[in-house]
Amino acid sequence: QTHLSIAQAAGFERWYSAAAPDVAKSKEQFRPAEEKNHYFNNNEGKKVTAEMVMEQAGRYNVPGDEEGHLYGAIIGSVRDYRAVKASGKYADYPLVFCAHYAGDLSMPLHNTVYDAFNKERHSLNDGVIERNALNNIGYIQRSMYEIRIGNDDDLAREIARIAETGRHLGAVIRKENRNMTQAEAYTQVVHSASLFRAILVYVGKNPS
C-alpha cells in the first residue's frame, strides 16, 4: 500500500501498478537486473550528490552491481519513458518502475549499508504505514510541496536531496536501534510523492 499511496497521491493514472517492480524482481530470471534498481547501500556512508546520481544512471538494469544504483534507476526509467514515447509505442510502463523507485528513494534502509540492522529491520521499516497509507491519500497530498524540474540535472539534484533525508534518518534509527515512527514514515512518503509528481510534470504527463 505504501508504494500505491505515493503514486496515487502524485496523480499517476496507473498508480495501482506501482508495486509491480517488486513482483518483477521476485522472478528469478528478472532478479539479477531488477533488484539492483531498488537500493543504494552506500557502504562508505558518502553524502549523496547529483554527480553520484548521474554516474549511477549508466548502470540502470545492469546486474552485478552489489552496492545497487537506485538513484540512477530513477533517471534511467525517465529516459526509458521518453525513448518509448518517441517510438510511438505505449510508454507508461517505465513510469510504473519510476513510481516504485521514487518510493524506495525516501526509505532510510534503501540508502544505507546492508548490515545486520538493515537485514533485520528492512521489511519492517518499509511497511511502517502499510496498513493505513491508502486511507491517508488526502493527508499526503496536503503535505506535498512543489518541486520544479527543467532538465535531468535538476532531477539528479532533487534525487540526491531526498536520498540524503533517507540516509540521515537511517543513521538516526540505527543509532537509536529502532524502527521509523509513523510520523517519520509519512514525512518520507511526502518527499517521494512530491518528487514523482514533479517527474510526471517534467515528462509531460498531467497528474490527475
**Architecture per CATH, 2-202:** Orthogonal Bundle (1.10)
pLDDT, average across residues 170-176: 98
Tell me the pLDDT tens digit for each residue of 141-165: 999 999 999 999 999 999 999 999 9
Confidence of residue 80 (pLDDT cuts 50, 70, 90): very high
C-alpha of 86 from chain center: 24
Residue 29's pLDDT is what? Answer: 87
The more confidently predicted of residues 208 and 52 is 52
Q: Which residue has the cell 486511507?
A: 135
Residue 57's pLDDT is what? Answer: 96
> What global pTM score does this model have?
0.96
Q: Are 145 and 86 in contact (CB under 8 A)?
A: no
Show the DSSP H helices in the chain as ranges.
2-10, 20-26, 31-34, 50-57, 70-86, 92-105, 116-126, 137-143, 152-175, 182-202
DSSP 109: G
- Residue 9's nearest CA partner among 134, 183, 158 is 134
